[in-house]
Amino acid sequence: MGFNKDDSAGYLANHLARLFARELQLRIKPLGLSTGTFPALLVLWEGDGLTQRELIEHLDIEQPTMANTLARMERDGLIERRKDPADARAQRIWLTAAARALEGLATAAAEAVNKKALAGLAPAERAIFLGLIRRVIAGLQVEPTATRGQDGAA
């Protein structure tokens, strides 16, 4: 009975994520954006002024990945880092005017990808599908105080 990738939720979710990323990249690359920076932008468009730690918690990613992403975003003129007035050791991440100007076009691109991907599902099926994805994500999210294995794997 061995492992069957076509019956593996992890394999299928990874495949789906790669397909979404490829399609999104085609649509946002002309805007000067990448799928690596897009999740951070989505969070910051909801409300910037967050710390790096807060972004890490929102995005469920590792600190080195976030540091590299923020460095690219700063290099590309999408964010500014400013000292936190209440804690001189911390920096807050603020969107630039250029990043704010891209929100409408970039989110429209993401909506188009979602529309294309879900076109084969009836509205009720879409709602069920998205609800199930949210439940699976919640089941896998690491609590802030929980620890992972040395390699980051669960």
Within a domain: 93: yes
CA angle 95, 27, 96 (to 5 degrees): 10
Separation of first and last alpha carbons in the chain: 24
Residue type for 54, please?
E
Task: Pick the closest to residue 102 from 71, 123, 77 (CA basis).
Answer: 77
Within a domain: 153: no
β-pair type (50-51, 79-84):
unpaired
- Tell me how many domains the chain contains: 1
Identify whether the C-beta of residue 52 lies closer than 8 Å to the C-beta of residue 70. Answer: yes
Identify whether the C-beta of residue 109 lies closer than 8 Å to the C-beta of residue 28. Answer: yes
Q: Which pTM does this prediction carry?
A: 0.84
Within a domain: 145: no
Within a domain: 150: no
Domain boundaries, position 118? 7-140
CATH of residue 54:
1.10.10.10
β-pair type (79-84, 87-95):
antiparallel
pLDDT per residue of the chain (154 residues) written in tens, 0 to 9: 689 999 899 999 999 999 999 999 999 999 999 999 999 999 999 999 999 999 999 999 999 999 999 999 999 999 999 998 888 888 999 999 999 999 999 999 999 999 999 999 999 999 999 999 999 999 998 765 544 444 444 4
